[in-house]
Amino acid sequence: MNLLSSAFGWLSDPANWSGSDGIPTRLLEHLDYFARSLALALVIAMPLGVLTGHTGRGGFALLSIANAARALPTLGVVIIVVLAVGSVTSLWPVLIALTALAIPPILVNTYEGIRNVDADLKDAARGMGMTGWQVLRQVELPVAMPLILLGIRTAAIQIVSTATIAAYVALGGFGRYIIDGLAIRAIDTEVAGGAILVVVLALLVGAAFIVLRRVLVPAGVRHQS
């Protein structure tokens, strides 16, 4: 409990709430990495997952690649791209590594969600004269939405907690407190405070998805699951 109280002491110190190393600045940086890499991952993974799930082709290859991508060590990927780009302040290494981290859960859940839509439902939609595109938009996507959102949620939480690694290559975000605090052995103040900030942010992201679920999942599907 000693650790918690000193961490909260650090968090409530007004000095840590202003300036370029202040919590608001670091929060914006953290959210910036988060939003960009999640957007990139969505743009890449969603169409691929929807396409393979809808056509049922290439699923096995897709799952194998996604599984292999899960094995990529984020820290190693960040450093490789840093060396390749030749700059520790470029945003790309972190964006690429975090996007690679976020793609597998989104891809796999989108694919599985759409592929596992009850065949009878799809046949009924076809029988009503829907085109392939309509079946996808009006039947498959809504029914698969809970699983798709779950994948995006996993990806989002992983990005928030892993974005801390950005600090190792001289970028910002909440990871700064952990890496800098570790360097000066300020474990029960700065490091613990930084860790708590990341956890709170991750919990808020998780909570945001509960709201998203209410908005995006149609009532009929929601009651079923």
Interaction between residue 85 and other proteins (CB under 8 A): no
Helix residue ranges per DSSP H, the chain: 2-12, 23-55, 59-70, 74-85, 92-115, 119-127, 132-134, 141-162, 175-183, 192-216, 219-224
Binding mask 177-216 vs other proteins (x if CB under 8 A, - otherwise)? -xx-xx----xx--xx-xx--xx--xx--x----------
Q: Which stretch binds other proteins (CB under 8 A): 13-21, 36-44, 133-141, 153-161?
A: 153-161
**Contact with other proteins (CB under 8 A) among 43, 75, 124, 128:** 75
Interaction between residue 139 and other proteins (CB under 8 A): no
Interaction between residue 80 and other proteins (CB under 8 A): yes
Q: HEC string of 48-75?
A: HHHHHHHHCCCHHHHHHHHHHHHCCCHH
Q: Are 205 and 156 in contact (CB under 8 A)?
A: yes
> 190 by DSSP, 3-state: which?
helix
**Closest distance to other proteins from the beta carbon of 179 (Å):** 8
Helix axes 192-216, 141-162, angle to 10 degrees: 170
Binding to other proteins (CB under 8 A) within 158-177 occurs at: 160-162, 164-165, 168-169, 175
C-alpha span between 199 and 73 (Å, rounded): 21
How many chain residues touch other proteins (CB under 8 A)? 42
Question: In the complex, which residues of this chain contact other proteins (CB under 8 A)?
Answer: 3, 67-68, 70-77, 79-80, 82-84, 119, 123, 157, 160-162, 164-165, 168-169, 175, 178-179, 181-182, 187-188, 191-192, 194-195, 198-199, 202-203, 206
